[in-house]
Structure formats: C-alpha cells, structure tokens
Amino acid sequence: MAAFEEIDVHHMTRQQAIAAIDARLRRCKGDVYRLRVIHGYRGGTVLREAVRGRYGKHEKVVRLELGLNPGETDLVLREL
C-alpha cells in the first residue's frame, strides 16, 4: 500500500527546516509516494521559497505540487 507522509517545519528556521526535510527524505521508504511539507505562510515566505527552491531540483523529488493551502507544498517522490 502506498504511503503519504507529512512534516511540519513552520516554526523552524530555514536551516532547521532543510535539515529536518533532508532527514525525512533519507528515511522515506519505497512505499512513500508523497511528502507534504507544512511551511506556513503568514510569518513570511522564507521557508516556502526555501522548500520550493531546494526541493524542486532534488534528486528524490519528481515534482512539486502546490495545493489550495499556500502554507503547504507536496514533494511528489514517485507517481502512482
């Protein structure tokens, strides 16, 4: 069964958020197809831009998906 995971980094600094997301990506098993990153948006756009800039080109990420919530970005790790 395919898995969906989520990580909340919106109270972290940019460096803490990147370290946490990198660690989560390393731990993701083959059944994980999507990692939702909750970065928030009301406190500024630093985390959102860091997530979208860094992980849009990451080797494990097939593509980014932006949903209706501007405080979240989905990292698609594989297609279903």
Q: Which domains does the chain have, with CATH numbers?
A: 3-76 (3.30.1370.110)
The pLDDT value recorded for residue 54 is: 96
Torsion angle (degrees, nearest 10) of CA 24, 16, 67, 80:
-10
pTM of the full predicted structure? 0.92
Confidence of residue 2 (pLDDT cuts 50, 70, 90): confident
Q: Quick check: helix, strand or coil at residue 11?
A: coil
